[in-house]
Amino acid sequence: MARSLRGRLVILLLLLIVAAAAAAALMFGLFGQSAAAQAGQAEAEIGRASEAIQSASHSLSANARGSTAGEQLSENLTAVVQTVLKNRPGVEGGVRLGGDERLAYAFPTYPGGGPKTDEPAAELPRIASVNREALAQDGGLVLRRFDASSQILLIAACPLSGPIPGLTGWTMTRVTTFAGDSYRLLMAGIGVLLAAVLGAAALLTRLTLSWSRHVGRIEAALKTHEVSRLPTLPMTGERELDRIVTALNDAGERLALARSARTISRDS
């Protein structure tokens, strides 16, 4: 069975689309793994930070006596949190009493124009809940993850030992998923891939239509012309196809010359 060039080009286009779709799926998969790895690293980081607050605040809480001492304790705990988090970009945290009352808060790596001294209002219910859970467990670190459409929120808390009951240290960070540099790189890569597929599809479609049109014209010229001689076919602009056209034109000229020579020979 004869094979169609147009059919082959269509198959090639379909294979290109399938390959592009597979590449895009692979890129999304790698991006998802990258986000999961970042979340894992962030969980470990805030866990270590909470435990560092727990360790550093132990000696301070032991010296707290009365309201004045309590005010001094709050300042000292804020300094502790500031020191613990100053080399941890994107991590904020503090100390709470009973899970709900704020004693200290710091965000030394806050990217804004000045120091941030207020706890994030939108996350206060979650912060309080994780701190209360840490108190209820009476021991180890509690780490909770909250997934949103564009980021992962991570909160860790652990109880602080000392003469003041009900103290917990907490830390929090965010892992950007669908709005950060990695996501922009992913979208740029998929955009380039899409542009390449569209360009290739346009080129293959144009080539398929062009060849079909030229072949149709050649076929029509050969069908409608007189049988006694081959017509002179126009060039198509396609190099490979023009080689066939040139060969047909040359064959037609040789055939015409041969017939002319036989006619002269018979007349003589």
**So where are the chain's domains?**
5-11+184-267, 33-177
Give me the CATH code for the 33-177 domain, please: 3.30.450.20
- Work out the number of other CB atoms within 10 angstroms of the CB of residue 132: 18
Query: 93: which 2 tokens?
Result: 């945290």
**pLDDT beyond 70 at 218:** yes
- How large is the average pLDDT for residues 139-168? 84
What pTM, to 2 d.p., does this model score? 0.58
Question: In Å, what is the CA distance from 16 to each residue of 12, 199, 219, 231?
Answer: 6, 11, 31, 40
Sequence-separated (6 or more) residues with CB below 8 Å from residue 25: none
Separation between Cα atoms, residue 131 and residue 138, nearest integer Å: 11
Please report the pLDDT score of residue 243 as a whole number. Answer: 82
Q: Which residues pair with 146 in a beta bridge?
A: 153
Mapping DSSP to helix (H, G, I), strand (E, B) and coil, where does residue 84 land? Answer: helix
- How large is the average pLDDT for residues 208-234? 73
**pLDDT beyond 90 at 129:** yes
**pLDDT beyond 90 at 257:** no
Please report the pLDDT score of residue 155 as a whole number. Answer: 94
pLDDT band at 133 (very low <50, low <70, confident <90, very high): very high
Residues 211, 241 contacting (CB under 8 angstroms): yes
- How large is the average pLDDT for residues 231-239? 76
Q: Which of 125, 71, 119, 65 is nearest to 93 (CA)?
A: 119
pLDDT band at 222 (very low <50, low <70, confident <90, very high): confident
